[in-house]
Amino acid sequence: MKIGLRDFDGKQVNLALMKLSAYHKAQGDTVVLDKFTPADVDKVYVSVIFKKNREAAMQYASQFSNVEIGGTGYDLTTTLPAHIESLRPDYDLYSMEDIYPRMKGVMTKERKIEKATEIINAGIGFLYRGCIRHCKFCVVPTKEGGLQRVAQVSDLINPKSNIITLLDANLTSEPDAIDTLHEIRDRKLILDITQGIDVRLMTPEIAKALSEVKMLRSLHYAWDLMGFEKQVLTGIDTLATHVKRWRHMCFMLVGFNTTFAEDYYRFHKLAFEAKVDPFVMIYTNGKKADAKLRHFARWVNARVYTKIPFNEYRPWVKAQLA
């Protein structure tokens, strides 16, 4: 059979499609990624990550007669069968050329090629699925349920690289987080924790173990709800005893259940008192974000706040006059 895999809106690589690819190749099928027409393939899988793209992905899928569609942007119930979920991903599915166009931000062509190569060569996966918490804005509890172990560190290694991309939703809540970090350190792996850590659970021991691992980028965590101020700020201080503050980044959810005054308060505390890098994430739930929040996010995330107060930020001033 000829199998078409369509990564509809992924920003990096798609683990589910990589596992489907591994499964079908093991059956002797031919697998093609993204570039195919209905005449080229016998069966198609479409993965859509973002809810805002759901309709477009369904429209795309409708041209194929034998098609399955899934992904967080489609629904929270479609999952891979257990015999496919447990497979090692096909690390040959993506090429540098597939990932290169997805590289955003100001980078030279050489740097983009380097980053794209780094992404396709990295090992990727989950050690644990699920989360101990039930944040109402998050899909993880519904999609994955409570915390469950699904793999070992050795399962996540791609021999082409010493980087591992860890997709766990809440590493710091895992009962053996310190052992995991020690194993990653001892194997001399470089860790990319894509979903961040839960800084509210920070202890001096976890902070020390994190500091001993080589990280691919800054350590990120979140302060999403006003009620967690004390736990977040205490956790940041604990982490900072082992990991310098310039290596932290704190995501702030806005547009969920906070007022703008509360958003500004969190930003100010993080940037000027905790002295860590804030990063605004807008909760949209598939809808267009509020204009003030969009301007606020740009002003914070591009660090314009280091030069100009928000009420003098020209794009926001102009938007109010329009």
Question: Which positions touch ligand SF4 (CB under 6 A)?
Answer: 131, 133-135, 138, 140-141, 169-170, 198
- The nearest distance, CB 239 to ligand SF4, in angstroms, is 16
> E strands of the chain, at which residues?
2-7, 30-33, 43-47, 67-70, 123-125, 128-129, 148-149, 163-166, 190-193, 214-215, 219-222, 248-254, 277-282
- The nearest distance, CB 145 to ligand SF4, in angstroms, is 11
β-bridge pairing 219-222 and 214-215: unpaired
Torsion sign across C-alpha atoms 288, 291, 293, 298:
positive
Q: Which is nearer to ligand SF4, 80 or 135 (CB)?
A: 135
- The nearest distance, CB 134 to ligand SF4, in angstroms, is 6
Q: What is the number of alpha carbons within 13 Å of residue 226 lying toward its C-beta?
A: 11
208 is written with which tokens?
A: 């020390």
Rounded Cα–Cα distance for residues 218 and 258 (Å): 26
DSSP 202: -
Q: Which is nearer to ligand SF4, 93 or 253 (CB)?
A: 253
- The nearest distance, CB 68 to ligand SF4, in angstroms, is 26
β-bridge pairing 30-33 and 123-125: unpaired
Q: What is the number of alpha carbons within 13 Å of residue 319 lying toward its C-beta?
A: 14
Q: Which is nearer to ligand SF4, 41 or 239 (CB)?
A: 239
- The nearest distance, CB 320 to ligand SF4, in angstroms, is 32
- The nearest distance, CB 141 to ligand SF4, in angstroms, is 5
53 is written with which tokens?
A: 């793209």
Q: Which is nearer to ligand SF4, 140 or 213 (CB)?
A: 140
Q: Which is nearer to ligand SF4, 222 or 274 (CB)?
A: 222
Q: Which is nearer to ligand SF4, 90 or 174 (CB)?
A: 174
- The nearest distance, CB 219 to ligand SF4, in angstroms, is 15
69 is written with which tokens?
A: 């569609």
- Tokens 């005449």 locate to 39
The length of the chain is 322
Q: Which is nearer to ligand SF4, 131 or 304 (CB)?
A: 131
DSSP 44: E
